[in-house]
Amino acid sequence: MLTIWGRISSINVQKAVWAAGEVGQPFERIDIGGQFGGNKEPAYLAKNPNGQIPTLEDGELCIWESNSIVRYLAARYGAGWIWEEDPARRADADRWMDWMLAELQPAMTPGFWQLLRTPAEQRDPAVIEASIARTEAKLDILEAHLAGRTYLAGERFGMADITVAPGVHRWRNMPVPQKERPHLARWYAQVAARPAAGPALPLPIS
């Protein structure tokens, strides 16, 4: 059985949980990090020297970095399903996975921290406003992309959807103004309805 180390409120842990569910692998998730602590203890640092979450254990194999975990689970247990053997199709998924880490997540994180994890009297309106503007611009990119396809990497659900959807889930449930994006809304409703998505996308967000 797999072990996933990390609190479920983390977007990156959500990716790992969702991927494990999609490929039908039973797992135990152990709360660590954030309010649970423990991620700087020697025993955990021996698994993940960065002290970050998530960390995946599969037998004697130990993997950290959320996108690497998703790719591993997809390749080992989801070949022909969420793992694309064709290099061109896999590159299409890879770019959106990396886009999540490099573009969408950095855009939305400051606003999330300010609005949900910072006391009201300590919030910086300028940081919140800038984060909203950056995130909405990134979501416009998603909206345009999804206008011509069912899923992020084409007509089949896959790694990219698992990786990006937790970010969209978080933002859609934040107290921020959002414009209508019918293609994004259609895609989100479709992927969030998958059985494996339920345990990975908790509400309320925190």
Provide long-range contacts, Cβ within 8 A and 24+ apart, for 146-151.
Answer: 146/183, 146/184, 146/186, 146/187, 147/183, 150/187, 150/190, 151/187, 151/191
pLDDT of 55 reads: 98
Residues 108-163: tens digit of each pLDDT: 999 999 999 999 999 999 999 999 999 999 999 999 999 989 999 999 999 999 99
Contact of 7 with 36, CB cutoff 8 Å: yes
Indicate whether 153 and 71 sit together in one domain: no
Contact of 159 with 97, CB cutoff 8 Å: yes
Cis peptide before 54 (omega within 30 of 0): yes
Indicate whether 91 and 192 sit together in one domain: yes
Q: What is the mean pLDDT of the chain?
A: 97
Indicate whether 91 and 182 sit together in one domain: yes
Q: Check residue 173 and report its DSSP letter.
A: T
Distance CA 87, CA 184 (A): 26
Indicate whether 34 and 92 sit together in one domain: no
Task: State the residue range of the domain holding 154.
Answer: 87-196
Distance CA 40, CA 48 (A): 9
Indicate whether 98 and 176 sit together in one domain: yes
Q: What is the pTM of this model?
A: 0.96
For the domain that residue 37 is a member of, what is the CATH number?
A: 3.40.30.10
Model confidence at 186, pLDDT cuts 50, 70, 90, reads very high
Indicate whether 188 and 143 sit together in one domain: yes
Provide long-range contacts, Cβ within 8 A and 24+ apart, for 36-43.
Answer: 36/7
**Residue 206, domain member (yes or no):** no
**Tokens in use for 91?**
């590159």
pLDDT of 80 reads: 85
Q: Which of 23, 58, 77 is the last residue of a domain?
A: 77
Distance CA 160, CA 96 (A): 6
Indicate whether 63 and 92 sit together in one domain: no
Number of folded domains that form the chain: 2
